[in-house]
Chains A and B, each alone.
Chain A
């Protein structure tokens, strides 16, 4: 096989230097996510209509009003502006998604790396805790916990963060195990580096690469989970969420039939955001996998 000309010519220098690209789709997704993040951060400052004001317009008959120049996404039954409400909804959905995955990475990532590095009883205990957390279907665990707490932005983020601990922790542990016995780690230990230094300087940079795509994919899961909770009426009690808007627009089939825009614009926003997170995460994973094999 080694003399096969086909295989030997396959690895020409030209081909190994082929530039790995993230592609146009990736940058489109990043643009959309950037736009959403901007909206989430600066909603109160944007020149939007008030999301709670009733824009009754007697000349137009009874609300809900269909989409028009005045109300881009139409209005709901109380004549509130769906466009303004949808943009306001980005705030809670994205904040919860981001906070949850950050919390999951801080706790799950730390525990995972430590148990993968030290192994032994720490590893056994943390692995068992991860399995226990994974024994609940995630939505069921989320509902169980949200039923017991006051549902605020912080607590919902923490609940969803708790849910992401186990998947994040398992991946971090697996990635750490791959590197824990590699030559560069042994070398660092030989010259007297402390465990702390080895973890931070040698292990973390390597583990961070496979984890980066999980951050995006995990945030997508958290955004969907928040949407599901608020759709069921179990997310942040005060405030506008995409799930809550969709629920409001689809609660009665009469509303859905007469004014589908109330539910469908938030669905579109949620869909595009989750799609962007998934797609970007997938591209990042492919991008780094290629790099890993050429190492």
Chain B
């Protein structure tokens, strides 16, 4: 019990630190007033501009001190009010933008994770059972190549081969299409994110599988005359999955990073591409909201991974 309390406390502390850092960075390094009003913010000699500056300051609580603003923002944030976008009308509210786009990013990341897991497990099983042979070496080289390929390059290559040359896959994502075609449109973006991750998973799982395959109970299973695939799937895979599960959880951060690139290339209006657009437009409440959502979900996923780990291996708790 004490372990869980400690972990949750640490996670809350982390969330606080992360939010202060993000909020502080955007408010201290950036110039929120300029972000709201644009060039008008610097025009202090014109009474009309001064009027606008004062209104904006009041509206966005910019006349309060930084800790007060932080407090106000946090209390709004946990209630799901992320403020207004910095456009002339303030429409749509940031929470509207997020709730429309976040599901797309989540499904993209889940799909990428799904691809990565279901490519890497058979891949690792095959290579581990033939460790050291030619096919294993070729696969190691392939994994190396995949890991060395930045995901934006993979995106461009996939797009070129499958959408342009072969014309099998749609070029971009269309938010208005029916669900089935939208899922189809997400295959290439998800592969972009999932392929290099699959290589990482495969290398890890292969190493663990090789260690497991040298144990006595595998020898026993083999002497019992069980088939090779039965031994691999039923006896060897499960005990080798411990570090695999941890890494799958921890890799969510890399997947989110990948989704930023992938969404931009394949024009998916998710929160990743929105983050980039908002940064380029200096739309600071949107940036703040997205960074906070991403960082907090990352912290929470890590917490859940830790807990899942204690369920698999209770020794960790002590």
Q: Which residues of A contact B (CB under 8 A)?
A: 128, 131-132, 135-140, 143-149, 220, 224, 227-228, 231-234, 243, 246-247, 249-250, 253, 256-257, 260, 263-264, 267, 270-271, 274-275, 278-279, 282
B150 with A148: CB separation less than 8 A: no
Q: Which residues of A contact B191 (CB under 8 A)?
A: none
Indicate if the CB atoms of B253 and A270 lie closer than 8 Å.
no
Q: A143-B276, A279-B144 are in contact. Are A253 and B171 (CB under 8 A)?
A: yes
Chain B interface residues (CB < 8 Å from chain A): 10, 13-14, 17-18, 21-22, 25-26, 29-30, 144-145, 147-153, 156-157, 159-160, 163-164, 171, 252-254, 256-257, 260-261, 264-265, 275-276, 279-280, 282, 287, 290-291, 294-295, 298-299, 302
Does B260 contact A140, Cβ atoms closer than 8 Å?
yes
Contact A140 B150 (CB under 8 A): no
What are 5 of the A-B contact pairs (CB < 8 Å)? A144-B291, A145-B29, A228-B151, A270-B150, A271-B149
Whole-angstrom distance from the CB of B251 to the nearest CB of chain A? Answer: 10
A-B contact count (CB 8 A): 132
Residue of B whose beta carbon sits closest to that of A266: B153
Q: Which residues of A contact B147 (CB under 8 A)?
A: 278
Q: Name the prevailing secondary structure of the B interface residues.
A: helix
Q: How far is the CA of A263 from the CA of B150 in the complex (A)?
A: 13
Q: Is the CB of A137 within 8 A of B256?
A: yes
What 4 pairs across the A-B complex have the smallest Cβ distances? A139-B257, A137-B253, A275-B148, A147-B279
Q: A140-B256, A250-B159 are in contact. Are A147 and B14 (CB under 8 A)?
A: no
A131 proximity list for chain B (CB < 8 A): 10, 14
Do residues A140 and B275 form an inter-chain contact, with CB atoms below 8 A?
yes
Interfacial chain B residues near A227, Cβ < 8 Å:
150, 152-153
Are A144's CB and B152's CB within 8 A? no
Chain A residues contacting B261 (CB-CB under 8 Å) are: 139, 228, 231-232
Compute how far the CA of A234 lies from the CA of B277 in the bound complex, rounded to whole angstroms: 11
Minimum CB–CB distance for B249 against chain A, Å: 13
> How far is A143 from B14 in the complex, measured between Cα atoms in Å?
20
> Considering only CB atoms, which chain B residue lies closest to A149 in the complex?
B29
